[in-house]
């Protein structure tokens, strides 16, 4: 490894949100971030659109 590049510990959270519950998903996210921090993670990443605001499939029924 190059001497000028720092080492970074990354936590990749491959998890699902709590179905149709944004508040519980946020609580789950906070818990996972705390767990990663306990394990000395420098960066925590989640799937794209992990915290839902509304179900995307609702548009199909309008």
pLDDT in tens, 3-61: 788 899 999 999 999 988 889 999 999 999 999 999 999 999 998 888 876 666 666 65
- pLDDT of 1 > 80? The answer is no
Query: Which pairs count as long-range contacts for 40-48, CB under 8 Å and 24+ apart, including other chains?
Result: 40/9, 41/9, 41/10, 41/11, 42/8, 42/9, 42/10, 43/8, 43/9, 43/10, 43/11, 44/10, 44/11, 44/13, 45/10, 45/11, 45/12, 45/13, 46/13, 46/15, 47/13, 47/14, 47/15
């Amino acid at each position: 490894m190059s001497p000028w590049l720092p080492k970074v510990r990354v936590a990749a959270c491959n998890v699902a949100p709590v179905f149709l519950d944004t508040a519980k998903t946020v609580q789950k996210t906070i818990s996972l971030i705390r767990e990663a921090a306990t394990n000395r993670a420098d960066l925590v990443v989640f799937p794209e659109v992990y915290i839902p605001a509304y179900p995307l499939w609702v548009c199909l029924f309008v």
